[in-house]
Amino acid sequence: MRTLFPLDPAAGRTEPPAAGPWWLRPALLFDGEQIRSGMALRIESGRITAVVNATESLADGAPYWQSDYIACPAFVDLQVNGGGGRLFNNEPTSGALMAIAAAHRRGGTGAWLPTLLTSTPAVMEQAVEAVLEVYGHHGVAGIHIEGPHISPEFRGAHALELIRPYDGHTRAVLRRLRDRNIPVILTLAPELLPPGALRELVAMGVRVSIGHSGASERETRAALADGASLFTHLFNGMPPLNTKKAGMAGVALDSAACCGVIADGWHVDDTMLRLAVRAKRPSRALFAVTDAMPTVHGPPEFELYGAKIRLCEGKLIDARGSLAGVHIDMIGTLRRLVRDVDLPLETALAMVTSIPARAAGLDAEYGRLAANVRANVLLLDPGQLQARGLIVDGLVADRVLM
């Protein structure tokens, strides 16, 4: 006889078999492209093995979990500095990665790139060791190295004294990661690279993202021609839009390159975000990042480069009262995209799932609900836009998220 797993933990939720097979039958399913009704997912050994009409799921007699919520891919975040009171720069260890992952799971994130801000060579090496140790577990899907090869003028919160030219040390670190097939995003200022370096990075398999840069329109287009494929936190860490010159932001909007954007309401005005969505919509190349700091599901203060950063009325500020980081998780980002930016739910969901997965080359495993991908599934309350349950590699998370 088939078994029904109750969704409500207060009703005494019965866990599905670890290896499966079992079926998830949600009210609606967002597969990474569109919202569909009447669908079911077959989950076995941590992976999705079929996506079929719900009536077809009745045929094999496997147990099922009926849900009144939307099933969507667990969120994909390509820029996470910290969470749960831990900052990767301050603590480049596997233990910190596990704690940060746990914090962001509360916001529905199933795959993420630990992000290392501008740091010393020693810290960079420690961070790489940590990622090599944890990669493939706790949602760690690669690494994002943001700096140190950036423009001092557009460094933002990055430490000026740690900024340095691209060198053999960084090349060796990146080669070590790529030799292990670890996905890498490297944010840099292309105008400061030596000739040929960007093409070398791309040939190595590094995804080069233009950011914290003052590159001109010509320099930006040249970087894209050499293989740069991303822009880091659009409108931040770059010259502002200018009606007389396209500049970096104009090229980012005009190109087919993928652009990350922070949607916390502080870093980018919602009107500008709507304009960016319209500009990038034909190629579905705008995605959301949290760029999150330790205050996300953590205490309201932390230190960055020895300076105290605190949470004040929803934003992070330094001692001068200047903006100094991001305090938002992915479920909060989704709510803002729908409620404040006024995007259709399908568009917003793609910006936090399939588009970032594709931008980072992670879409074979993450960001979609399809056969042969990891069974990382979020159950989403469509009315409240709350994360109500999380399945990671086919296993129901310890608690339903609130």
Residue-wise DSSP of 258-306: EEEEE-SSSSS-HHHHHHHHHHHGGGT-EEEE--B-TTTTS-SEEEETT
The pLDDT value recorded for residue 238 is 97
For residue 308, report the phi and psi dihedrals to the nearest 5 degrees: -80, 130
Rounded Cα distance, 18 and 395, in Å: 6
Rounded Cα distance, 6 and 8, in Å: 6
The pLDDT value recorded for residue 14 is 58
The pLDDT value recorded for residue 322 is 86
**Cβ-contact 118, 162 below 8 angstroms:** yes
The CATH-assigned architecture of domain 4-72+368-396 is Roll (2.30)
Query: Where do the CATH 2.30.40.10 domains begin and end in the chain?
Result: 4-72+368-396
Q: Which residue do the tokens 């746990």 mark?
A: 102
Please state, as a whole number, how many other Cβ atoms lie within 10 Å of the Cβ of residue 271. Answer: 9
Rounded Cα distance, 158 and 154, in Å: 9
Rounded Cα distance, 138 and 185, in Å: 19
CA 323 to chain centre: 21
Closest CA to 116 of 107, 106, 126: 126
Strand (E) or helix (H) holding 351: helix 345-351
**Cβ-contact 314, 326 below 8 angstroms:** no
**SS3 per residue for 126-173:** HHHHHHHHHCCCCCECCEEEECCCCCHHHCCCCCHHHCCCCCHHHHHH
The pLDDT value recorded for residue 368 is 98
For residue 391, report the phi and psi dihedrals to the nearest 5 degrees: -110, 125
**Cβ-contact 354, 33 below 8 angstroms:** yes
Cis peptide before 299 (omega within 30 of 0): no
**Cβ-contact 223, 210 below 8 angstroms:** yes
The pLDDT value recorded for residue 6 is 52
Rounded Cα distance, 275 and 3, in Å: 48
CA 288 to chain centre: 7
**Alpha-helix residue ranges (DSSP H) falling in 7-67:** none
**Cβ-contact 185, 360 below 8 angstroms:** yes
Query: Where do the CATH 3.20.20.140 domains begin and end in the chain?
Result: 75-359
End-to-end CA distance of the chain: 32
Q: Is 381 a catalytic residue?
A: no
Strand (E) or helix (H) holding 307: strand 307-312
The pLDDT value recorded for residue 13 is 52
Cα dihedral sign, 246-250-256-259: positive
DSSP 57: G
The pLDDT value recorded for residue 398 is 53
Residue of 31, 291, 329, 363 with catalytic role: 291
In which residue ranges of the chain is pLDDT below 50? 1-3, 7-11, 399-402
Q: Which residue do the tokens 């810290």 mark?
A: 123
Rounded Cα distance, 133 and 396, in Å: 24
Cα distances (Å, whole numbers) of residue 12 to 67, 71, 167, 399: 15, 21, 57, 12
Residues 6+ apart with CB under 8 A from 233: 79, 211, 260, 261, 262, 267, 289, 291
CATH of domain 75-359: 3.20.20.140
**Cβ-contact 249, 287 below 8 angstroms:** no
